[in-house]
Amino acid sequence: MAKYPPLARRIPQPSDITPFLRLKSRSGLSRAERRVADAHTIEDLRRLAKRRTPAGPFHYVDGGAESEISMRRAREAFDDLEFNPEILRDVHEVDTTTTVLGKQSALPFGFGPTGGTRMMHAAGESAVARAAERAGIPYGLSTVGTTSIADFAAAAPGARHWFQMYLLSDRERSLRMLAEAQANGFDTLVVTVDSAVVGNRLRDARYGMSYPPQLTVKTFLDASYRVEWWTNLLTTEPYRFTYEEPGVPRSQLTAVKGFTDSSVTFDDLAWMREAWSGPIVLKGIQTLDDAVRAADSGVDGIVLSNHGGRQLDRAIPPLHLLPSVAARVGASTEVMLDTGVRTGADVVAAIALGAKFVLLGRAYLYALMAGGEAGVDRAVQILRAEIRTTMALLGVTSIDELRPEHVTLVSRYTRLASTASESASTPAPLAEPSATSTTSTITTSARPRARKAGTR
């Protein structure tokens, strides 16, 4: 038996131990900043948000339509992709700035419009707007936001504001909102086109987030011990939806569930163009044909989106649609993407596959629920660092250097279909296979087919 020399040992000195005893300094941090400081991913912020927020608002953000297949597959599309890095490149300086709709953004993503934001945290859209201003990125106010157009603009006067429009059944009210948004410096109109009716959002119904929201015994008990959330809700001004007008009784505006206009068609783009002088973006494109038609209509941009999986279940993941749309209309129309984006690497992948810009929703809402304005700042820090790291590891130093060749886009469902096809075409063995040969057969049939970079 071999004999090994003993490990040489010595008595440790105090100076040897001191480096391990240094505590992370958090002096000067607010309570909210300390809370989110240990979050290192958006998923960390999500878990913190779930602990701190009543079930109703949390699941309103976290859930999707029906069986949530659209939402899940949109996330899986990013999980399944593969990066193809280039080595031995000088990447000591990485520039994340880009241009979207004629203006610069410090990062290749912005904060997309979301409804009911003050239900997530009392500071609501104003907090997110200030974080966006500090980050140098655009942020969109939703028609069903919970902050007025004027208050939103005043919260971050130096930021770039977009206005999202659900076309109301009251056309005159729609026109007044557009005029008010332009008067307050909003430069881009985002028209959501995937919501002719509201999707069947089962989590909303189960947790009392139907419209108008209604408390049940279950949801009340769940919310009762979130003292900070209740305190913030009850000690700040009651929220009103962005589309509500001062002096108009709420019952006149919200009694009808279908307050949006379900008869809107491409023909309505004409009067929107007359009413809005800046860029117009259609959000909710889900087919190549509609992308082409939107581009032909003269809009400035489109957002490939299935509404975060909250409308039609089993809709195509926007990431899978992206390469074909970017190739077809990207030269004339700015192609953006949302749904399923949870990391900076996801943002980089989308840009590489042809997106001009990416919009985030759940990512910053989790952060807002986790730590208010400080949480949103933390989300930006996390995403910025992830983007820089991913770009450097891919061997690129600017957004313009990202190309489809950097990403292999595959689907686990395509892989499973390929496996089934290969198995069906393989002749059955003539003799009873041994355990060893059976294992070999399964391994061979499970091998995915060859894939091309940048394709579905």
* In a domain? residue 348: yes
> What is the DSSP secondary structure assignment for residue 112, as one 8-state letter?
P
Q: Which residues contact 245 (CB under 8 A, 6 or more apart)?
A: 173, 176, 253
d(CA 430, CA 9): 65
Which residue in the block uniquely carries the two structure tokens 């953006």? 336
Would you give the end-to-end CA distance of the chain in angstroms?
57
Q: Which residues contact 406 (CB under 8 A, 6 or more apart)?
A: 83, 84, 85, 86, 352, 394, 396, 453
Which DSSP string do the residues of 5-53 spell out, in sequence order? PPPP--PPPHHHHGGGGPPPP-TT--HHHHHHHT--SHHHHHHHHHHHS
pLDDT for 318 beyond 60? yes
Q: Minimum mean pLDDT among 8-12, 113-117, 301-305: which range?
A: 8-12
pLDDT of residue 42: 98
| Nearest alpha carbon to residue 309 among 200, 179, 155 | 200
pLDDT digits (tens, 9 = 90+) for 96-112: 999 999 999 999 999 99
- The reported pLDDT for the residue numbered 3 is 85
pLDDT exceeds cutoff 50 at 455: no
**Within a domain: 8:** no
- Which runs of consecutive H residues, i.e. helices, occur in 81-195? 117-120, 124-135, 149-155, 171-183
pLDDT of 165 > 90? The answer is yes
CA-based nearest residue to 456, from 359, 253, 257, 316? 316
Q: Which residues of 379-389 are buried (b: 16+ CB within 10 A; e: fewer)?
A: bbebbbebbbe
pTM of the model: 0.86
Q: For 10-60, how does the pLDDT look when each residue is reduced to its tens digit (9 = 90+)?
A: 888 888 887 777 666 677 788 888 889 999 999 999 999 999 999 999 999
Lowest mean pLDDT segment, chosen from 17-26, 69-78, 433-442:
433-442
Instruction: Tell whether the model's pLDDT for residue 426 goes beyond 90.
Output: no
User: What is the Cα–Cα distance from 403 to 454, expressed in whole angstroms?
Assistant: 9
Q: List pLDDT tens digits, range 135-158.
A: 999 999 999 999 999 999 999 999
Q: How far is 205 from 207, CA to CA, in rounded Å?
A: 6
Cα(315)–Cα(69) distance, integer angstroms: 8
Q: Minimum mean pLDDT among 36-45, 363-372, 380-389, 408-417: which range? A: 408-417
Average pLDDT over residues 335-353: 99
Whether the Cβ atoms of residue 119 and residue 57 lie closer than 8 Å to each other: yes
Residue 447 has pLDDT above 50, yes or no: no
Whether residue 419 is contained in a domain is answered as no
3-state class (DSSP) for residue 173: helix
Specify whether the CB–CB gap between 138 and 131 falls below 8 A. Answer: no
pLDDT at 227 over 80: yes
Cα distance between residue 146 and residue 130, in whole Å: 16
- What does pLDDT average to over the chain? 87
- Residue 433 scores a pLDDT above 70: no
How sure is the predictor about 435, in pLDDT bands with cuts at 50, 70 and 90?
A: very low
How many alpha carbons lie under 13 Å from residue 278 in its C-beta half-sphere?
21
Are 338 and 284 spatial neighbours (Cβ–Cβ below 8 Å)?
Answer: no
| Residue 432 pLDDT exceeds 50 | no
Lowest mean pLDDT among 90-94, 152-156, 225-229, 440-444: 440-444
Q: How confident is the model at residue 422 (pLDDT cuts 50, 70, 90)?
A: low
Distance CA 104, CA 97 (A): 7
pLDDT of residue 442 exceeding 50, the answer is no
Indicate whether 16 belongs to any domain: no
Average pLDDT over residues 333-349: 99
211 vs 392, more confident: 392
Of 43-47, 113-117, 165-169, the least confident:
165-169
Q: 443 falls in which pLDDT band (50, 70, 90)? A: very low
Are residues 272 and 193 in contact, defined by beta-carbon separation less than 8 angstroms? no
Does a cis peptide bond (omega within 30 degrees of 0) precede residue 433? Answer: no
Give the dihedral sign, CA 430/432/434/439. Answer: positive
The yes-or-no verdict on residue 75 having pLDDT over 50 is: yes
337: CATH: 3.20.20.70
Domain assignment present for 54: yes
- CA atoms of 375 and 367, how far apart (whole Å): 5
The contacts of residue 313 (CB under 8 Å, 6+ apart) are 64, 65, 66, 67, 68, 69, 70, 199, 200
Q: What is the mean pLDDT of residues 154-179?
A: 94
Q: CA-to-CA distance for 138 and 301, rounded, in angstroms?
A: 15
422 vs 32: which has the higher pLDDT: 32
Contact 385, 65 (CB under 8 A): no
Structure tokens at 101: 């709709």
Q: Who wins on pLDDT, 257 or 152?
A: 152
* Per-residue model confidence (pLDDT) at position 453: 46
Q: Is residue 96 part of a domain?
A: yes
Instruction: Give strand pairing partners of 191.
Output: 165, 282
The dihedral sign for the CA sequence 238, 244, 247, 252: negative
Whole-angstrom distance, CA of residue 190 vs CA of residue 300:
10
Q: Is pLDDT of 257 > 70?
A: no
Of 442, 148, 437, 138, whose CA–CA distance to 278 is shortest?
138
List, in sequence order, the alpha helices (H) in 53-110.
55-62, 69-80
The answer as to whether 2 is a domain residue is no
Q: Confidence band (pLDDT; 50, 70, 90) for 79?
A: very high
C-alpha span between 46 and 49 (Å, rounded): 5
Selecting among 59, 121, 161, 307, the annotated active-site residue is: 307
Angle between helices 412-425 and 435-445 (to 10 degrees): 130
Residue 307 annotated in active site: yes
Flag whether pLDDT at 231 surpasses 50. Answer: yes
Q: 383, 347 in Cβ contact below 8 A?
A: yes
Residue 193 has a pLDDT of 94
Averaged pLDDT for residues 174-186? 97
In the chain, the number of structural domains is 1
pLDDT at 159: 95
Do the domain assignments include residue 138? yes
Give the range of the structural domain holding residue 95, as residue numbers without chain letter: 37-244+254-404
